[in-house]
């Protein structure tokens, strides 16, 4: 697979991730019950807004990497863009795991729905479903990043030269007297 094509796939994966994160943010921030506010809603809202922004940063980095990988390839810019896309994904994965889907956070979310019931129970179920829909796009981005790194390494490897020296055969040495005789017959 060409480097440009792998960047195109990464950009597409980031766009899908941004879409599901935008849906998650909408469900968390806009669709929560309006009565009896909760700090958990604010906390989830802040985290989802942050994740959505990071996914957009990753998508921009992947799009810029696609341009850098087009002919003529600018390997240095493509490498920087790929590193920025990787950085965004790492931050998304950490925040998603720690701030949204850790055991304690999910326990708080489920507890809120049980405690308040009614609209809150429906809201927590919708949020949990939205969180589950984020998993596959997160994996798609990770896989696309891996393919980009593979292509980058192969691209950089094509420009390098490898020199190997192998000695085959044997060394023949003549005693000094034989060397003198041989040189006298050459004249």
How far is the CA of 152 from the CAs of 79, 142, 158, 159, 163, in angstroms?
A: 7, 15, 10, 11, 22
Q: Which residues contact 150 (CB under 8 A, 6 or more apart)?
A: 6
Name the nearest CA neighbour of 153 among 45, 55, 78.
78
User: What was the pLDDT predicted at 158?
Assistant: 66
User: What was the pLDDT predicted at 136?
Assistant: 98
User: What was the pLDDT predicted at 140?
Assistant: 98
User: What was the pLDDT predicted at 21?
Assistant: 97
The answer to whether 67 and 3 have CB atoms below 8 angstroms apart is no
Buried b (16+ CB within 10 A) or exposed e, 89-113: bebbbebbeebbbeeebeebbeebb
User: What was the pLDDT predicted at 117?
Assistant: 93
pTM of the model: 0.80
CA distance 152 to 161: 16
Record the tokens describing residue 50, joined without a space.
């942050």
- What is the maximum alpha-carbon separation in the chain? 112
User: What was the pLDDT predicted at 165?
Assistant: 58
Residue 111, Cα to own-chain centre: how many angstroms? 33
User: What was the pLDDT predicted at 132?
Assistant: 98
User: What was the pLDDT predicted at 156?
Assistant: 80
Residue 186, Cα to own-chain centre: how many angstroms? 71
Q: Which CATH number fits domain 3-186: 2.10.70, 1.20.58, 1.10.540, 2.30.30?
A: 1.20.58
Q: Enumerate residue ranges in the chain where pLDDT < 70.
A: 1, 158-187
Report the 10 Å Cβ neighbour count for 149: 15
The position carrying tokens 């950085």 is 87
């Amino acid at each position: 697979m060409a480097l440009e094509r792998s960047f195109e796939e990464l950009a597409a994966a980031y766009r899908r991730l941004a879409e599901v994160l935008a849906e998650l943010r909408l469900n968390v921030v806009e669709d929560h019950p309006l009565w009896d506010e909760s700090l958990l809603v604010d906390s989830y809202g802040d985290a989802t807004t942050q994740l959505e922004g990071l996914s957009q940063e990753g998508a921009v980095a992947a799009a810029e990497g696609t341009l850098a990988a087009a002919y003529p390839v600018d390997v240095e810019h493509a490498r920087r863009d790929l590193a920025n896309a990787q950085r965004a994904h790492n931050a998304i994965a950490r925040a998603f795991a720690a701030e949204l889907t850790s055991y304690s956070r999910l326990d708080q979310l489920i507890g809120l729905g049980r405690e308040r019931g009614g609209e809150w129970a429906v809201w927590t179920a919708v949020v949990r479903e939205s969180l589950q829909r984020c998993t596959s796009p997160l994996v798609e981005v990770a896989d696309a990043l891996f393919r980009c790194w593979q292509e980058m390494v192969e691209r950089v490897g094509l420009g390098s030269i490898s020199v190997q020296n192998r000695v085959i055969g044997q060394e023949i040495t003549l005693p000094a007297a034989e060397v003198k005789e041989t040189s006298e017959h050459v004249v």
